[in-house]
Protein backbone atom coordinates (compact mmCIF):
# COMPACT_ATOMS: atom_id res chain seq x y z
CA UNK A 1 0.00 0.00 0.00
CA UNK A 2 1.83 3.09 -1.24
CA UNK A 3 0.91 5.87 1.17
CA UNK A 4 4.10 7.70 2.10
CA UNK A 5 3.85 10.31 -0.66
CA UNK A 6 0.11 10.79 -0.45
CA UNK A 7 -1.44 13.87 1.13
CA UNK A 8 -3.09 12.18 4.07
CA UNK A 9 -3.01 12.98 7.76
CA UNK A 10 -0.74 11.03 10.07
CA UNK A 11 -3.74 9.25 11.56
CA UNK A 12 -4.95 8.20 8.12
CA UNK A 13 -1.50 6.82 7.27
CA UNK A 14 -1.49 4.88 10.51
CA UNK A 15 -4.90 3.48 9.55
CA UNK A 16 -3.51 2.34 6.21
CA UNK A 17 -0.73 0.44 7.98
CA UNK A 18 -3.21 -1.16 10.34
CA UNK A 19 -5.35 -2.26 7.39
CA UNK A 20 -2.29 -3.72 5.71
CA UNK A 21 -1.34 -5.66 8.84
CA UNK A 22 -4.88 -6.93 9.23
CA UNK A 23 -5.23 -8.08 5.63
CA UNK A 24 -1.74 -9.40 4.93
CA UNK A 25 -0.67 -10.65 8.35
CA UNK A 26 -4.11 -11.47 9.81
CA UNK A 27 -3.00 -9.36 12.76
CA UNK A 28 -5.82 -9.41 15.33
CA UNK A 29 -4.32 -6.46 17.20
CA UNK A 30 -4.65 -4.37 14.04
CA UNK A 31 -8.36 -5.18 13.84
CA UNK A 32 -8.74 -4.30 17.52
CA UNK A 33 -6.93 -0.98 17.11
CA UNK A 34 -9.10 0.02 14.13
CA UNK A 35 -12.19 -0.74 16.19
CA UNK A 36 -10.82 1.16 19.18
CA UNK A 37 -10.14 4.22 17.05
CA UNK A 38 -13.57 4.49 15.50
CA UNK A 39 -16.10 2.60 17.66
CA UNK A 40 -17.31 5.68 19.56
CA UNK A 41 -17.45 7.87 16.46
CA UNK A 42 -19.39 5.27 14.47
CA UNK A 43 -21.79 4.72 17.37
CA UNK A 44 -22.51 8.43 17.82
CA UNK A 45 -23.00 8.93 14.07
CA UNK A 46 -25.54 6.11 13.96
CA UNK A 47 -27.22 7.29 17.14
CA UNK A 48 -27.80 10.72 15.59
CA UNK A 49 -29.59 9.05 12.70
CA UNK A 50 -31.85 6.62 14.57
CA UNK A 51 -31.98 8.04 18.11
CA UNK A 52 -32.12 4.64 19.82
CA UNK A 53 -29.18 3.45 21.91
CA UNK A 54 -29.87 -0.29 21.64
CA UNK A 55 -30.27 -0.22 17.86
CA UNK A 56 -27.22 2.03 17.50
CA UNK A 57 -25.11 -0.49 19.42
CA UNK A 58 -26.38 -3.31 17.19
CA UNK A 59 -25.67 -1.34 14.01
CA UNK A 60 -22.19 -0.42 15.22
CA UNK A 61 -21.32 -4.10 15.50
CA UNK A 62 -22.74 -4.72 12.05
CA UNK A 63 -20.72 -1.88 10.54
CA UNK A 64 -17.43 -3.26 11.83
CA UNK A 65 -18.43 -6.79 10.85
CA UNK A 66 -19.03 -5.73 7.26
CA UNK A 67 -15.92 -3.56 7.13
CA UNK A 68 -13.65 -6.28 8.51
CA UNK A 69 -15.06 -8.92 6.19
CA UNK A 70 -14.47 -6.68 3.18
CA UNK A 71 -11.19 -5.14 4.32
CA UNK A 72 -9.34 -6.74 1.40
CA UNK A 73 -11.50 -4.61 -0.93
CA UNK A 74 -10.58 -1.34 0.77
CA UNK A 75 -9.37 1.29 -1.72
CA UNK A 76 -6.49 3.37 -0.23
CA UNK A 77 -7.37 6.28 -2.50
CA UNK A 78 -9.75 7.18 0.32
CA UNK A 79 -9.15 7.26 4.06
CA UNK A 80 -10.21 4.25 6.10
CA UNK A 81 -12.54 6.47 8.14
CA UNK A 82 -14.33 7.65 4.97
CA UNK A 83 -14.83 4.07 3.84
CA UNK A 84 -15.95 2.85 7.27
CA UNK A 85 -18.46 5.66 7.78
CA UNK A 86 -19.98 5.06 4.35
CA UNK A 87 -20.52 1.42 5.31
CA UNK A 88 -22.00 2.42 8.66
CA UNK A 89 -24.36 5.08 7.32
CA UNK A 90 -25.58 3.05 4.36
CA UNK A 91 -26.22 0.11 6.66
CA UNK A 92 -28.11 2.46 8.94
CA UNK A 93 -30.21 3.77 6.05
CA UNK A 94 -31.20 0.20 5.17
CA UNK A 95 -32.27 -0.29 8.77
CA UNK A 96 -34.27 2.97 8.74
CA UNK A 97 -36.10 2.00 5.58
CA UNK A 98 -36.84 -1.48 6.86
CA UNK A 99 -38.18 -0.22 10.18
CA UNK A 100 -39.70 2.97 8.73
CA UNK A 101 -38.72 4.90 11.84
CA UNK A 102 -38.62 8.67 12.33
CA UNK A 103 -35.08 9.98 11.94
CA UNK A 104 -33.02 13.05 11.34
CA UNK A 105 -32.34 13.89 7.70
CA UNK A 106 -30.38 11.26 5.81
CA UNK A 107 -29.55 13.71 3.03
CA UNK A 108 -26.81 15.39 5.03
CA UNK A 109 -23.08 14.73 4.96
CA UNK A 110 -20.37 14.44 7.57
CA UNK A 111 -16.68 15.31 7.65
CA UNK A 112 -14.16 12.53 8.26
CA UNK A 113 -10.90 12.75 10.21
CA UNK A 114 -9.08 14.21 7.19
CA UNK A 115 -11.64 16.98 6.69
CA UNK A 116 -13.20 15.28 3.65
CA UNK A 117 -16.95 15.78 3.28
CA UNK A 118 -18.61 12.42 2.78
CA UNK A 119 -22.14 12.20 1.46
CA UNK A 120 -24.52 9.41 2.35
CA UNK A 121 -25.45 7.33 -0.67
CA UNK A 122 -29.12 6.43 -0.96
CA UNK A 123 -30.05 3.11 -2.50
CA UNK A 124 -33.21 1.69 -4.05
CA UNK A 125 -35.76 0.27 -1.63
CA UNK A 126 -36.01 -2.94 -3.65
CA UNK A 127 -32.45 -4.19 -3.13
CA UNK A 128 -33.45 -7.41 -1.43
CA UNK A 129 -30.04 -9.03 -2.08
CA UNK A 130 -28.48 -6.15 -0.14
CA UNK A 131 -30.81 -6.83 2.80
CA UNK A 132 -29.76 -10.45 2.70
CA UNK A 133 -26.10 -9.43 2.64
CA UNK A 134 -26.61 -7.24 5.70
CA UNK A 135 -28.26 -10.14 7.48
CA UNK A 136 -25.27 -12.27 6.53
CA UNK A 137 -22.86 -9.72 7.96
CA UNK A 138 -24.80 -9.71 11.21
CA UNK A 139 -24.53 -13.48 11.49
CA UNK A 140 -20.90 -13.57 10.36
CA UNK A 141 -19.48 -11.50 13.21
CA UNK A 142 -21.38 -13.51 15.78
CA UNK A 143 -20.36 -16.88 14.43
CA UNK A 144 -16.72 -16.11 15.12
CA UNK A 145 -17.07 -15.36 18.78
CA UNK A 146 -20.50 -16.20 20.14
CA UNK A 147 -19.40 -19.65 21.29
CA UNK A 148 -16.83 -18.01 23.55
CA UNK A 149 -19.49 -16.16 25.53
CA UNK A 150 -20.98 -17.48 28.78
CA UNK A 151 -24.08 -19.62 28.05
CA UNK A 152 -26.65 -17.02 29.18
CA UNK A 153 -25.15 -14.43 26.84
CA UNK A 154 -24.98 -16.93 23.98
CA UNK A 155 -28.74 -17.42 24.25
CA UNK A 156 -29.44 -13.69 24.22
CA UNK A 157 -27.14 -13.05 21.25
CA UNK A 158 -28.64 -15.90 19.26
CA UNK A 159 -32.19 -14.69 19.86
CA UNK A 160 -31.31 -11.08 19.02
CA UNK A 161 -28.96 -11.56 16.05
CA UNK A 162 -29.73 -15.00 14.61
CA UNK A 163 -33.48 -15.10 15.20
CA UNK A 164 -33.81 -11.28 14.98
CA UNK A 165 -36.27 -11.06 17.84
CA UNK A 166 -37.22 -7.71 19.33
CA UNK A 167 -36.24 -7.00 22.92
CA UNK A 168 -39.83 -7.49 24.03
CA UNK A 169 -40.00 -10.87 22.27
CA UNK A 170 -36.77 -12.00 23.93
CA UNK A 171 -38.15 -10.99 27.31
CA UNK A 172 -41.25 -13.09 26.69
CA UNK A 173 -39.24 -16.03 25.36
CA UNK A 174 -36.92 -16.13 28.38
CA UNK A 175 -39.53 -14.95 30.88
CA UNK A 176 -37.29 -12.11 31.99
CA UNK A 177 -38.02 -8.43 32.69
CA UNK A 178 -37.43 -6.21 29.67
CA UNK A 179 -34.88 -4.16 31.60
CA UNK A 180 -32.90 -7.30 32.43
CA UNK A 181 -32.82 -8.34 28.77
CA UNK A 182 -31.56 -4.93 27.67
CA UNK A 183 -28.95 -4.81 30.42
CA UNK A 184 -27.65 -8.31 29.69
CA UNK A 185 -27.55 -7.70 25.94
CA UNK A 186 -25.59 -4.53 26.60
CA UNK A 187 -23.12 -6.56 28.67
CA UNK A 188 -22.94 -9.21 25.95
CA UNK A 189 -21.99 -6.54 23.39
CA UNK A 190 -19.30 -5.24 25.73
CA UNK A 191 -17.88 -8.76 25.94
CA UNK A 192 -17.81 -8.97 22.14
CA UNK A 193 -15.77 -5.78 21.96
CA UNK A 194 -13.48 -6.99 24.75
CA UNK A 195 -12.81 -10.23 22.91
CA UNK A 196 -11.60 -8.30 19.89
CA UNK A 197 -9.42 -6.05 22.04
CA UNK A 198 -7.95 -9.01 23.89
CA UNK A 199 -7.11 -10.82 20.67
CA UNK A 200 -9.47 -13.70 21.44
CA UNK A 201 -11.68 -13.55 18.37
CA UNK A 202 -11.04 -14.91 14.90
CA UNK A 203 -12.26 -12.13 12.66
Q: Is residue 177 left, alpha or beta, with left meaning phi > 0 and alpha meaning psi from -120 to 50?
A: beta
Domains contained in the chain, CATH given: 10-197 (1.10.1740.10)
Give yes or no for residue 129 having a pLDDT over 70: no
110 compared with 10, residue with greater pLDDT: 10
pTM exceeding 0.85: no
Residue pLDDT, tens place only, 162-182: 777 888 988 888 888 999 998
pLDDT of residue 127: 44
Q: Could you tell me if 82 and 114 are in contact, meaning their C-beta atoms sit under 8 angstroms apart?
A: yes
Distance CA 196, CA 194 (A): 5
Amino acid sequence: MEIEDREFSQKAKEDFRLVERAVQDKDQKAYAELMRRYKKAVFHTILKMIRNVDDAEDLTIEAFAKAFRNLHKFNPEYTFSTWLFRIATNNCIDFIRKKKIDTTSIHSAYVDSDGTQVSIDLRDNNLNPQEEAIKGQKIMIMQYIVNKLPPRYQTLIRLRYFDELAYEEIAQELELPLGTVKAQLHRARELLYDMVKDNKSHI
